[in-house]
Amino acid sequence: MTVRFRSDMVVELVKHSAADADVVLAARVSTQGARAGAATDAQKDAGLIGYLMRDRHGSPFEHSVFTFYVEAPIFVWREHMRHRIASYNEESGRYKVLEPVFYLPGADRNLVQTGKPGAYEFVPGTPDQYRRLVERSTRVCEVAYAAYRESLDDGLAREVARMDLPVRLYSAAFVTMNARALMNFLSLRVKSDAATFPSFPQREIELVAEAYEREFARLMPVTHAAFVRGGRVAP
């Protein structure tokens, strides 16, 4: 069996219950009590959302929820699952035979780290460094996946056989997060010079976060704009 390599992350919006208007409705329950009507004033709404973001009233953003289907390597999932205000269903190596699909950094991925702890920077590697990386990783994945297959063919349980697979193996999952948790994710997993609190995510989880952010900006443009304007601080 041939191993396959990819450099992309798959992020598809499966469904959502997310809208700027819902933030406004939820906030108005606090200040107006009875369920506010639908007729609203776009400028006033934007002002209210900006105020909520600035003063860190985060709860009105929790009623907007996104469900994504994501394919990413295991080492990305390991970071992703540290976000506990979220719901996950990930592909399981105990229940199915895992496909030989592995992540390889794209040629444009910065490979070399400079600086010191707490202030790393990443810069490009040379073409030779990249070539050697690809050679090594290809070899590792071939040996590892061959061992996995041999274990299965030898009658071993899937959960035992999978132990040989590297963390660059792709895995798929459903991820559901509300807009507040999503903004927290974005504040930590996207690098931005405009951020009040700088963050230094690994590039691969940043790819996932960037795709999340595109959907977020599309479905909740006013909230997203307020988030960016406020220095990407999750309320």
Phi then psi for 64, rounded to 5 degrees? -100, 125
Instruction: Tell me the closest approach of the beta carbon of residue 97 to a copy of itself, in angstroms.
Output: 9
**CA distance linking residue 191 with residue 170, whole number of Å:** 23
Instruction: Tell me the closest approach of the beta carbon of residue 18 to a copy of itself, in angstroms.
Output: 9
Does 189 participate in catalysis according to the annotation? yes
* Cβ-proximal residues to 133 (8 Å cutoff; 6+ apart), any chain: 104, 105, 111, 125
C-beta closer to a copy of itself: residue 173 or 228: 173
* Cβ-proximal residues to 64 (8 Å cutoff; 6+ apart), any chain: 16, 17, 18, 19, 22, 23, 178, 179, 219, 220, 223
Give the number of other Cβ atoms within 10 Å of residue 100's Cβ.
20
Check whether 94 is labelled as a binding-site residue.
Answer: yes
C-beta closer to a copy of itself: residue 105 or 213: 105
Check whether 56 is labelled as a binding-site residue.
Answer: no
Q: Which two tokens stand for residue 147?
A: 């061992």
Task: Write down the catalytic residue from 28, 168, 189, 232.
Answer: 189
Check whether 7 is labelled as a binding-site residue.
Answer: no
How many CA atoms, within 13 angstroms, populate the side-chain half-sphere of residue 219?
22
Place of tokens 């810069």: 123
C-beta closer to a copy of itself: residue 78 or 218: 78
Check whether 125 is labelled as a binding-site residue.
Answer: no
Place of tokens 């994945």: 141
Check whether 82 is labelled as a binding-site residue.
Answer: yes
C-beta closer to a copy of itself: residue 2 or 31: 31
Instruction: Tell me the closest approach of the beta carbon of residue 214 to a copy of itself, in angstroms.
Output: 19
**CA distance linking residue 3 with residue 223, whole number of Å:** 42
Instruction: Tell me the closest approach of the beta carbon of residue 35 to a copy of itself, in angstroms.
Output: 5
Enumerate the active-site residues.
189
Q: Summarize the annotated binding site as residue ranges.
A: 59, 79-84, 90-94, 162, 178-180, 184, 189
> Which residues fall in the annotated binding site for FAD?
59, 82-84, 90, 178-180, 184
